[in-house]
Structure 1
Amino acid sequence: MKPNYKLQPWVKLIRPFTLTASLSPVLVAVMLAIRDHSFDWIDSLLCIIVALAAQITSNIANEYFDFTSKTDDKESLGPNHPMSMGWLSKTQVKGAMVVSIMITALAGLVLCYLHSWAYLLLGVAVCLGAIGYSAGPWPFSKHGLGDLAVFLFYGIVPTFFTYYLQAGRSYTDIWLLAVGMGLISDCILIVNNYRDYEDDRQKGKKTIIVMFGKEFGPKLYFTCGALSLLLLFPFAKMKGFILLCFYILIFTSNFRALKTTEGKALNKVLAKTALMVLAYALVASLLLLLEM
């Protein structure tokens, strides 16, 4: 099936509905900086650019290297992949990956210039992590390390450093939020790997769910979601509990859908889980604002 318009393959390539995973931790860190009167709009904007560009790099790299290694094909259960569908060539996708890496690096270099060149090592780690998730001699996603990579690069790193660059300090609140963001962001990967369990197992891709069995997927999803929720309780006053109840309804609805859905229908659960990550960040942000 051909795309409906020229931009559609590129939109599918960057997988925009997953970008909540990179935007959400930065949003939470920015709101904490605002609460603590440490907000800097230049640092915040640059962190948003780095986070989004790094995830787009990772998404493009995942598309490119999964196609070249024959991990993805037309029969894959996930949303249509532009390369396997023949919509984009290797040269086009490789060029897009180079551009996204350059944007990530440029924004990161500006942050280094504004603060310290010691952060250059962190920037290199972010770029290598974006590529190393799918490529290299030991891809994280194929050796049971995908969940750890998501926890670090979509939780700890963006949340902590977005705040630290502005406030110049570290304390319990930022660590609670960073760990919470890492746990809830991992739910996106869990749905993805749960959907692809049979395909991954046949192709030798060792995700956590392949290693521990398909029934482990919903259990891990619930555990990550529940723990991330508990980490918000220290920020919830009486008014905040209404927000937590709202979020609990979203989470339980997605959890039930995960347990009762199979095959390509899980793509809807994946999209809803990505929105759930954003909902988590918004609830956390509102809880922080209520403390002001």
Structure 2
Amino acid sequence: MTHEQQPSGSFEFAPASSRGRCGLGPWIEAARPKTLPAAVVPVLVGSALAWRVGNFAWLPAGLCLVFALLVQIGTNYANDYGDFVAGADGPDRRGPRRAVAAGLITPAAMKRGVVITFAAAFLVGLSLIWWGGWVLLPIGIASLLFGWAYTAGPWPLAYHGLGDIFVFVFFGLVAVGGTFYVMAGRLVPEVVMAAVPVGLLATNLLVVNNCRDRETDARANKRTLVVRLGYGFGVVQYAVSLAVAAAVPVAMAVLWRDAWIAVPVVFLAPAIGLVRRLAGRPDGPTMNGLLAGTAKVLMTFGLAWAAVLAFA
């Protein structure tokens, strides 16, 4: 099946009269607003570290945020498109509806949406070269290419169990480190340490998705880590990521001899209940609630993490 072919029966979600007719609403829905903390938090943390060392500037920080949001939205659009053409978004899908599979946006229109969104991100990224230099160009291009290759292209990462690594690297290390580098012009070990909990908590969003969709993913040959290693692995991965995310602020508080740095760990407490709920193998709607809860934990922790890194 080529990426332009459409699986039979994929438009059964919506009446024929609604197919391909889309205003702004379906595009907002396809952007998956509940996942956008994964783009916002690393920029906040990178900016906080730049503030701490006296290199913060509002304009490049704002442009980093716009770039991160566009990459996230473009990746979500590519995911909507890629999963549709691969047959992963079928009528038995347990998660929120997908715009292409539901007939709200045509595959061709979604593909154009990906191109336009990534093109806008590229232009914003070019402007950041003024502050960070040409070293940012290959990093920005890689972010866009991997955003497309996450679930689309000839060898989609998520279909080979590499989606978790992609999220950790690009929504953790690269996003935090890149934001700091744009303003400070250098990298320091503390930036990498600060990025680790951000990347792990962002990855937990994917873990919930993969646990929820494990059956439909398996039928579509989408070999996520949960499909390869089992549902129990997903629960353990979620819990371990949470534990490491909590350990990093404590370790940095010890290294910096500043107890305030450990305060954000308090905001991870609600995730303990999320682990228990995930372990109970809940139904689709409950899984979607877990996804929202995981995003909330990421956002609240991220805000607290940025605050203490900037001002403690």
State the distance in 2 between where 1:223 and 1:212 align: 15
Q: TM-score, normalised by structure 1?
A: 0.93
Rounded to whole Å, the distance in 2 between the matches of 1:220 and 1:98 is: 33
- Measured against aligned partners, the alpha-carbon deviations of 1:207-259 in whole angstroms (never above 9, x if no partner) come to 111111111111000001110111111444445555422x1322212212212
Give CA-to-partner distance per residue, 1:23-42, whole Å, 9 cap, x none: 11111111111122110112
Deviations 1:44-79 (A, max 9, x none): 111111111001110000001111221112321110
1:290 positional shift: 4.2
The alpha-carbon deviation at position 260 of structure 1 amounts to 2.4
Alignment of 1:118-129 (within 5 A): 118-129=135-146
Q: Using the alignment, how far apart are the partners of 1:42 and 1:221 within structure 2?
A: 35
Q: Which residue of 2 aligns with 1:139?
A: 156
Partner deviation per Cα, 1:121-154 (whole Å, 9 max, x = no partner): 1111011011000112211000010000001110
* Residues 1:103 and 1:116: Cα distance change in structure 2 (over 3 Å): same
Q: Which among 83, 106, 115 is matched to residue 89 of structure 1? A: 106
Q: Report the AA paired with residue 126 of structure 2.
A: L
CA distance in 1, matches of 2:310, 2:188: 18
Task: Please say which of residues 109-118 and 135-144 is displaced more in the overlay.
Answer: 109-118
Task: Quote the residue 1:159 is aligned against.
Answer: 176
Q: Which residue of 1 aligns with 2:198?
A: 181
Match for residue 286 of structure 1? 307
From 249, 266, 270, the equivalent of 2:291 is 270
Q: Does the alignment pair 1:260 with 2:277?
A: no
Once residues 126 and 6 of structure 1 are traced to their aligned partners in structure 2, the CA distance between those partners, rounded to angstroms, is 28
Displacement of 1:19 = 0.7
**TM-score under structure 2 normalisation?**
0.87
| Counterpart mapping for 1:2-81 below 5 A | 6-81=23-98
Q: 1:239 to 1:108 in 2, by over 3 A?
A: closer
Contact 1:156 1:179 in 2 (8 A): yes
- The answer (yes or no) to whether the contact 1:74–1:80 under 8 Å persists in 2 is no
Given that 1:133 and 1:139 are in contact with CA atoms closer than 8 Å, whether structure 2 keeps it comes out as yes
- Distance, in Å, in 1 between the alignment partners of 2:162 and 2:250 is 29
Q: Distance in 2 between matches of 1:112 and 1:142?
A: 33
Q: CA RMSD in A?
A: 1.8
Match of 2:271 among 241, 245, 251: 251
C-alpha distance in structure 2 between counterparts of 1:144 and 1:210, whole Å? 9
Structure 2: runs of 5 or more not aligned? 1-12
CA displacement at 1:115 relative to structure 2: 3.2
Report the residue type matching 2:185 in the other structure: G
Matching residue's letter, 2:290 = V
Query: Which of 119-128 and 234-243 deviates more?
Result: 234-243
